[in-house]
Structure 1
Amino acid sequence: MATSPLVLGPMLRHVDETSATIWVETDDAATVRVRADGRAWEARTFAVHGHHYALVELADLEPGASLPYEVDVDGRRAWPEPDSEYPASVVTTWLPGRRLRLGYGSCRTSVPHDAHGNRTHGVDAMRAFALAMAADSAERPDLLLFLGDQVYADLTSEEMQEFIRSRRDIEEEPGEELKDYEEYAHLYRLAWSDPANRWLLSTVPTAMIFDDHDVRDDWNASLDWKRKMEATSWWHGRIVAGLGSYWVYQHLGNLTPAERADDGIWQRIAAHDGPGELDLTDEIDEFADRSDREPTSVRWSYTRDFDDIRLVVVDSRAARDLDPDARGLLDADELAWFDGQLRGGFRQVLVATSLPFLLPMGLHHVEAWDEAISQGAWGRTPARIGETLRQAVDLEHWAAWENTFQAVAQMVEELADGERGAPPENVLFLAGDVHFSYLAEVERERADGARILQAVCSPIRNPLPRFMRWFAVVMSYGIATPVGKLAARSAKVPDAPFRWRTVKGPWFDNNLAMLVDEPDGLRLTWHTGVVHGGDERHPELEQVAGITVPADRRTGITA
């Protein structure tokens, strides 16, 4: 049986009213053609470190069109695969006036979908959703938003380690962690090649942003952390490979046609008309190196508008300022950009970032306290202890960057109070990372204006061990709340500008969340996969929790 010329994809990426982009990785240099509705669009591949990619732009489509498509590679049909058990892959353009359906989640490990994998990592909620959608028992979202840790470069599976051993001594640094672009390419292949998930990614538009494990645990937690990494023999290769592969596999597909036109690397791809395949290896490596050395040279964040709903996707990892005298989760340039996106006149404003803005208040106080002592509030010795604690137990969310937290809280309050134009119904933060899910709401004194909410969905497939769940609950909701508040005050941490409470949660299932804009408000649901009758390959999708956020603030949130 002949092998397919497609290594990965097709992946349906950015889609708007009249255009769509389809990303593929092929096994050799080629011309990739997408055929739909009697028309065809094509692109030549470009190469990075011996791998071949194409992004095909479908233009001049009709709003609200639903077009089954096929993919040819050098004139040979490569998608759909022969005898596929899944429905046709479809490009569905945005129709003005349609109510948004948005799926989201984070933290997904790539291990086999068999009994052993399901026992150690739980059922893949994304795959369970794919199977349900293929069986027409789950509605198609307009967008799937992945909020970090699509791949784990530092916590590798047995399959990934086998590949590493095939090419280098795994006992030498960086050991079982990823070393270079070739290993990243294989990790993405493991993550996106399962048939059910591959079909899902071919037929539902996706948007993405990284978190730490896409590069390494605690990535950019502090200047101390970065100096330790830079002192190793392998870090420079890791960060260059991590950011370079992120641009190719994730970021490029996030871009709108206008944003691609402004992107220097894409300009080279679009302008290439010479013989042979364009090799971008050096350009990608140089770009990635510069992105790490000069974070303001690139913006990974982006904004998407769906009629009167604004989605702002914020980079909370690479755009940090690690200078102890100017610490910021967002550097000054990124903070100013984010400030400019928070404008009134939208019915809903969704802020998506890998890290929860509103942690449970107990954990928020602990992280704020740890930052203060790490910065010297109690002297040098406690500062060293605080830094060790920060890196040991991941105390580096928004709460651990007090200046940024306070600044963003003020921006959000201004938006919610109508000081930036007509207020939305809700300012809703979407996030992942923490490996448990919940909904929190800010306690607002004003009867008018917007609700401020935090909805977390984590993990898609990487559950906390059961003993860690107890620790997470205690740290987040138990004695840490009053003790953390006292500790924060003892370190002279300013009070948060508002209080918030958990409305629903926590729960620890592998989950994929759905946000649906309904006439009477927002409907939020969390879904997990459950194996019945020992059929590990065909888990069923079940709802874990459902919450309605009414459009009228005088009506309470209901489960």
Structure 2
Amino acid sequence: MSDVAAPGPLVLGPMLRFVGEHAATVWVETAGACTVTVRCARRHWSARTFGVRGHHYALVVVDGLERGTSEAYTVEIDGVHVWPEPSSPYPPPRIRTLDRERPTRLAFGSCRTSVSHDAAGNASHGVDALRTLALALAEDRAPWADLVVFIGDQVYADETSDEMRAFIAARRSLDEPPGVEIKDYEEYAHLYWLAWSDPANRWLLANLPTCMIFDDHDIRDDWNTSWTWHEEINRTPWWHERLMGGLASYWVYQHIGNLSPEELAKDEVYAGVLAAEAFDSDDELDLSDALFDLVRRVDRHPEVYRWSYRRDLGDSRLVVVDSRAARVLEPTQRSMLDPEEVSWLDQQLTGDVEHLFIGTSLPFLLPPGLHDLEAIDEAAAEGAYGRFVSRVAEKSRRSIDLEHWAAFNQGFVEVFAMVMDVARGNRGTAPGTIVFLSGDVHNSYVAEVTDAREHGASSRIVQAVCSPIRNPMPRGIRVMMSAFSKGLVRPMNLWRQWSSRVPDPPYAWEVTRGPWFDNCLAELAVDERGLSMTWRGGDVRGGDEEHPALTTIATVRIDVPPHQDGRHP
């Protein structure tokens, strides 16, 4: 059984995950095997829980809804009302279905640690931008988004809080590997509970549809940085259990909620849940063996399962790409994406939408100087300048995280070519914008391809970064990183031009806004002129740590020229 002490039958959730025009999914974790029911008005939908390692979950498919409507809902466990709680200070949770004729509005961000929201927590980690938004929405002081895209590091398995360490210490000695880091599925389950159980955030996640993708800290810092890293980590006695627990819990807590009901039916593991429901048995299905068998195969052969996915939003399309587990690490074939993932992405990147959004946890377009540094480091680490330099370069890319798209040049070039093909209108009518949505780097900025039209593209190609939601970079490092990224442009450019071993980027870009280092959550809104992007954070006023005020950190407009007939693309 679970080591988590549950205060009632509902352990975690409800979380509103997929929402389309006529269907939604609601995820919960419960204290025991049961039937979970979601009620809207006079209709209801139910699902039997499934088990994983002593924990119990349900993903209730709510279908037959009307497009563009908003309905309050409640949750029952075995016929007993459990949500919303009678004492809740927040409005009842609602399911707001998608209206494809309504301009898209989505929020995005990454990197969120789970510490207290009191003076101590705010002093060490800053104000939680997600919780600040929750409080503003509860009081109708902010607009509702159609979707929140969490693009990495939803939990930190390698940088644990005092609360998490206390839980670990109650199970095992902190002197034994992996020490204060997460060891197994049970510890991951508690880590997610800490991340999502704050009342304000829990209310937000019950109301705002979410989709997610992992980054390294969901598993471990530098996950799949290089072949050398891969070999070294696999020699540790604890890594296999950690990876199995990390991927299995990711599937349960994050991945299945990314999928539409149609995609769930095609998932090789979740198909067992649907088969058990069709059999109409009162016994709970234990998915542990099937799920851990899957993640064991994924560890050895990443191509057997896809974590990437797509959401169609009417005027826009969102394609979320796995840039961690699908990597090819062999020194002579390094790529961010394996061939199967490249082929899948190639099929998703098409036109005939007003805006194409590509979610990737790691920024595709770094500040140009940093991009060149990572490209140089990749060449050096792979032996371009001899063994000694190779060893130094390998240590550098781990110690200062030189492992973004620039450090996997083959995949970078392939994806850039696809994007330019879309922007030229070779895959349907070119979108007004193609926007990469990313996080990871603990600062936020906007970059744009500067010579796209010179290469026949009619779309504006933009990189928008929002990081962190709550895990700020120390002030001294902020100053250094800001100066470092700007000061690198000329020397790295000269080095790249001098060296025949370092490839030139196929197209030029520049940072147009930023960086800024505040905890924040970004919002992107489609309008008749193009896109409006806003980065928002929280500010404690009058000493009220529990109720920060929503603030605007930065706004950026991406205007799109109309067609000759006056219409916007």
TM-score for both structures, normalised by structure 2: 0.95
Give the superposition deviation at 1:420.
1.9
Matched, 1:483 2:491: yes
Partner of 1:71: 75
Q: Where does residue 98 of structure 1 map in the other structure?
A: 102
Is the 1:366–1:487 contact (alpha carbons within 8 Å) kept by the matching residues of 2? no
Structure 1: distance between partners of 2:424 and 2:274 = 44
Residues 407-416 or 7-16, more deviating: 407-416
Q: Decide whether aligned partners of structure 1 residues 276 and 387 sit closer, same or farther in structure 2, where only a CA change above 3 A counts.
A: same
Equivalent residue for 2:533? Answer: 524
**Partner-residue secondary structure (3-state), 1:282:** helix
Q: What is the CA-CA distance between 1:18 and the residue it aligns to?
A: 0.5
Q: Which whole-Å CA distance do the structure 2 matches of 1:135 and 1:505 have between them? A: 30
1:286-324 residue CA offsets vs partner (Å, 9 max, x unmatched): 111111111001000011111131111000000001111
Q: In the TM superposition, what whole-angstrom CA distance separates every residue of 1:115-171 from its partner, at most 9, and x where no partner exists?
A: 000000000000000000001000111001000000000000111000000000011
CA contact (8 A) 1:373 1:491 kept: no
For 1:154 and 1:488, how far apart are their aligned partners in 2?
Answer: 35
- Residue equivalent to 1:339: 346
Q: 1:55 aligns with which of 56, 59, 66?
A: 59
The equivalent residue for 1:557 is none
SS of 2:263's equivalent? Answer: helix
In structure 2, what is the Cα distance between the partners aligned to 1:425 and 1:210?
28
Equivalent residue, structure 2, for 1:34? 38
> Aligned equivalents of 1:440 and 1:142: distance in 2?
24
- Answer yes or no: is the 8 Å Cα contact 1:444–1:451 preserved in 2: no
- Contact 1:372–1:491 under 8 Å retained in 2: no
1:29 & 1:40 partners in 2: Cα distance? 19
Alpha-carbon distance in structure 2 between the residues aligned to 1:390 and 1:375: 12
Determine which of 366, 371, 379 is the counterpart of 1:372.
379
Q: Which runs of 5+ in 2 are unaligned?
A: 1-5, 564-569
Give how far 1:491 is off: 5.5
Separation in 2, partners of 1:235, 1:463: 28
Q: Determine the C-alpha separation between the residues in 2 that align with 1:355 and 1:553.
A: 31
- Map Cα deviations across residues 417-447 of structure 1 (whole Å, 9 max, x no partner): 1122211111110000000000111112527
Contact 1:369/1:491 (<8 A) preserved: no
- Return the alpha-carbon distance in structure 2 between the equivalents of residues 4 and 509 of structure 1: 37
Q: Deviations over 1:63-113 (max 9, x none)?
A: 112110000011111100111100110001111201111000000000000
Task: Measure the CA separation in 2 of the matches of 1:56 and 1:318.
Answer: 28
What are the within-5 Å matches in structure 2 for residues 107-186 of structure 1?
107-186=111-190
Can you list the C-alpha shifts for 1:222-279, whole angstroms capped at 9, x where unaligned? 1110111100000000000000000000001001111101011111111113342111
Paired position in structure 1 for 2:398: 391
In 2, the alpha carbon distance for the partners of 1:217 and 1:491 equals 32
Instruction: Kindly provide the amino acid, as one letter, of the partner of residue 286 in structure 1.
Output: D
**Quick one: percent identity of the two aligned structures?**
54
SS in 2 for 1:513: strand
- How far apart are residue 202 of structure 1 and its match? 0.1
Counterpart residue number, 1:316: 323
Q: Provide the residue aligned with 2:520 in structure 1.
A: 511
Provide the rounded CA distance (Å) in 2 between the counterparts of 1:216 and 1:154. 6
Q: 1:423 aligns with which of 400, 406, 430?
A: 430
Equivalenced residue count is 552
CA distance in 1, matches of 2:523, 2:187: 32
Moved over 6 A (4+): none
* Alpha-carbon shift at residue 37 of structure 1 (Å): 1.8
Deviations 1:212-231, CA, capped at 9 Å, x for gaps: 00000010001110111100
Q: Out of 201, 213, 228, which is 2:205 matched to?
A: 201
1:289 corresponds, among 285, 296, 302, to 296
Could you tell me which residue of structure 2 aligns to residue 442 of structure 1?
449
Q: C-alpha offsets along residues 154-201 of structure 1, whole Å, 9 cap, x if unaligned?
A: 000111000000000011100010000000000000000000000000
Which residue is equivalent to 2:356? 349
**Residue 219 (1) aligns with residue 223 (2):** yes
Match of 1:256 in 2: 260
Contact residue 103 and residue 315 of structure 2 kept, 8 A: no
Q: Secondary structure at the match of 1:187?
A: helix
Contact 1:530/1:540 (CA < 8 Å) preserved in 2?
yes
1:545 corresponds to 2:549: no
Deviates more, 1:509-518 or 1:498-507: 498-507
